[in-house]
Amino acid sequence: MESLADALREAASTLAEAGVPSPRVDAELLAAHLMAESVGRVRALALIGAAVPEGYGELVAERAQRVPLQHITGIAYFRGLEVAVGPGVFIPRPETEAVAQLAIDAARGISGARVADLGTGSGAIAGSIAQEVPDADVYAVELSDLALAWAERNLKPHGVTLVNGDYAAALSELNGTFDVVVSNPPYIPTDAVPRDPEVAEHDPEIALYGGSADGLRLPLAAAAAAVRLLKPGGYFVMEHAEVQAEALMRILGADPSWKTVCTHQDLTERDRATSAIRTDVL
């Protein structure tokens, strides 16, 4: 019988040939998923000559076809959450954790803060805020029925109010009552094609494309929704592409509804988020 150590080496080689960015890590994560063990435990078992788990080769072959790892395991990790994901929902990315942190920091400074996550997708941002700011009153808005089903599953344990609708008009009965609005809207330009097959072929288009040649139509719709939802002094933060930072700084900076417009960098020092404070100008 093939050993686990040999299978991990072969899997890493297969995934590397397929262009998977982190072949060894993915090989170990697939084994950990099948064995219901941690990656550390898988490494230890490989050292003592454990057998390869049944079905491992099939999962490696699937990942080599660039099916997202998270679709195979059914789980994505985001801050302190295990997020259920699969076809029909955008897989939360590590860079978005910094956007969530900005919203969390803003909400923590307000007792019983009311927070809205516009375009929640899997619910990762809203769930993180609810988990890390327990007294916050968190709402999440999602247009896609497929994504909504995943968000419902992920947010139910956290007491988040989930709304099915277009964030351009959703929560209108609560206009002017929110302390924090956060969004990771679709922002890829309509004629751009994502480089990674995992994104281009498996993330839903509704979660990717920003609805215009510059990709800014839907981000600016999120900003307009935040204007209507926030109290004066309320905080808005939104993720975007690095190349959109300058335009958003210019557009929001020229809008009297906003002040203190700031660009924020991700962990790789790319300009990936913009925040602003709501003025009292209607």
Is 186 annotated in a binding site? The answer is yes
- Taking the C-alpha atoms of residue 282 and residue 277, their distance in angstroms, rounded to an integer, is 13
Q: Tell if the pTM clears 0.95, that is, is over it.
A: no
- Taking the C-alpha atoms of residue 277 and residue 8, their distance in angstroms, rounded to an integer, is 50
Q: Which residue has the tokens 């497929």?
A: 146
Q: Count the alpha carbons within 13 Å of 163 in the hemisphere toward its beta carbon.
A: 18
Rounded (10°) angle between helices 39-47 and 4-17: 120
> Which residues are marked as active site?
90, 184-185
Is 119 annotated in a binding site? The answer is yes
- Taking the C-alpha atoms of residue 238 and residue 240, their distance in angstroms, rounded to an integer, is 7
Q: What is the pLDDT along the chain (282 residues), one digit of tens a residue?
A: 589 999 999 999 999 999 999 999 999 999 999 999 999 999 999 999 899 999 999 999 999 999 999 999 999 999 989 999 998 899 999 899 999 999 999 999 899 999 999 999 999 999 999 999 999 999 999 999 999 999 999 999 999 999 999 999 999 999 999 999 999 999 988 777 677 787 767 777 777 777 788 899 999 999 999 999 999 999 999 999 999 999 999 999 999 999 999 999 988 899 999 999 999 987
Is 82 annotated in a binding site? The answer is no
Name which of 181, 193, 266 is nearest 229 in CA terms.
181
Q: Which residue has the tokens 């959109």?
A: 244
Architecture of 90-278 per CATH?
3-Layer(aba) Sandwich (3.40)
DSSP tally for the chain: helices H, then strands E:
11, 9
Whether 74 and 189 have beta carbons less than 8 Å apart is answered as no
Residue 51 carries which DSSP code? B
Whether 27 and 15 have beta carbons less than 8 Å apart is answered as yes
Name which of 79, 96, 94 is nearest 154 in CA terms.
79
Name which of 278, 274, 245 is nearest 259 in CA terms.
278
Domain ranges, ordered by start, for the chain: 4-65, 90-278
Is 88 annotated in a binding site? The answer is no
Q: What share of the chain is helix, strand, coil (3-state, %, to 5)?
A: 45, 20, 35
